[in-house]
């Protein structure tokens, strides 16, 4: 005996079919938004040289549902270090504000603390837009790799709270595109500093070394120094070798 499908089931099936285009649009919108946010971060990294701090600034960080809104009183490049429920985060701003997706689980009334805001030196727009061309045409036929973007690691919360200072030395490869690969720990005074050092180093960018007019892969070394000179404000600096 054939049974007719209940009207309610038909209504549910129809509703699902009607929602499919909306779900597709939502997925596409989410992907586009993610790409836009990644593009914003990449542009900030290309425009800001936070290895050179030229001034201080003030900033605000607001976590609303799954968005993090960060604003500074400076329109120049700035690095903002902040805590969300005790966990350290760092953001680069180019233009005074940015909005990022919150990658963690939803938080109820999170405690957000801005640790510091530093105005960074800016890379000239023409330079930032033409880094590949520089590597190919504006260096001598035989030259060593030259750093063009350096991002300092954030000071680990646990180390700062306990007034721990230290040094990390890492070795790495610079490929033909000027990107950092194969990061290796050479020496560390405290394991608390290792993760942030590795994360920051991976974001360094170089004009590739040249040999006979062609880019070549070379090895580099960077030393990070984590200090609290006044006993209150953490400072991170770096140097080659």
The secondary structure of 47-93 as a DSSP string is HEEEEEEEEE--EEEEEETTEEEEEES-SSEEEEEEEETTEEEEEEE
- In this prediction, residue 90 has a pLDDT band, given cuts at 50, 70 and 90, of confident
Residue 125 clears pLDDT 70, i.e. is over it: no
Total residues found in the chain within this entry? 241
Strand pairing partners for 188?
Answer: 168
The token pair that represents 32 in the structure block: 């586009």
Residue 16 clears pLDDT 50, i.e. is over it:
no
Which of 131, 122, 118 has its CA nearest to residue 57? 118
CB 201 within 8 A of CB 150: no
Whole-model pTM: value is 0.49
Task: List, for residues 157-194, the tens digit of each pLDDT value.
Answer: 899 999 999 999 999 999 988 889 999 999 999 999 99
Three-state DSSP at 126 gives helix
Confidence band for 127, pLDDT divided at 50, 70 and 90: very low
Q: With 60 as the cut, is the pLDDT of residue 73 above it? A: yes
Mean of pLDDT values over 95-108: 76
Antiparallel, parallel or unpaired: β 67-72 and 77-84: unpaired
Quickly count: other Cβ atoms within 10 Å of residue 208's Cβ. 25
* Integer angstrom CA distances of residue 95 from 79, 115, 216: 12, 20, 35
- Mind listing the pLDDT tens digit for each residue in 131-143? 444 444 444 677 8
Position 233 scores a pLDDT of 86
Whose tokens are 């405290």? That residue is: 190
């Amino acid at each position: 005996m054939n049974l007719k499908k209940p009207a309610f089931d038909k209504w549910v099936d129809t509703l699902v079919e009607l929602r499919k285009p909306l779900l597709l649009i939502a997925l596409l919108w989410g992907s586009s938004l993610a790409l836009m946010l990644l593009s914003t971060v990449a542009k900030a990294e290309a425009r800001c040289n936070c290895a050179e701090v030229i001034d201080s600034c003030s900033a605000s960080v607001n976590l609303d549902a799954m968005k993090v809104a960060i604003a500074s009183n400076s329109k120049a490049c700035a690095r903002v270090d902040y805590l969300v429920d005790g966990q350290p985060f760092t953001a680069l701003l180019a233009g005074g504000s940015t909005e990022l997706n919150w990658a963690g689980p939803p938080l109820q009334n999170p405690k957000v603390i801005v640790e510091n805001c530093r105005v960074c030196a800016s890379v000239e727009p023409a330079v930032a837009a033409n880094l590949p061309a520089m590597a190919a045409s504006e260096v001598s036929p035989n030259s060593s790799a030259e750093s063009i973007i350096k991002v300092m690691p954030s000071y680990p919360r646990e180390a700062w709270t306990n007034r721990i200072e230290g040094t990390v030395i890492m070795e790495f490869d610079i490929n033909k595109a000027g990107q950092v690969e194969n990061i290796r720990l050479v020496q560390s005074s405290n394991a608390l500093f290792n993760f942030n050092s590795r994360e920051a180093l991976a974001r360094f960018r170089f004009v590739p070394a040249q040999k006979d007019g062609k880019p070549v892969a070379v090895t580099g070394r960077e030393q990070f120094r984590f200090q609290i000179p006044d006993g209150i404000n953490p400072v991170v600096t770096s140097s080659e070798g």
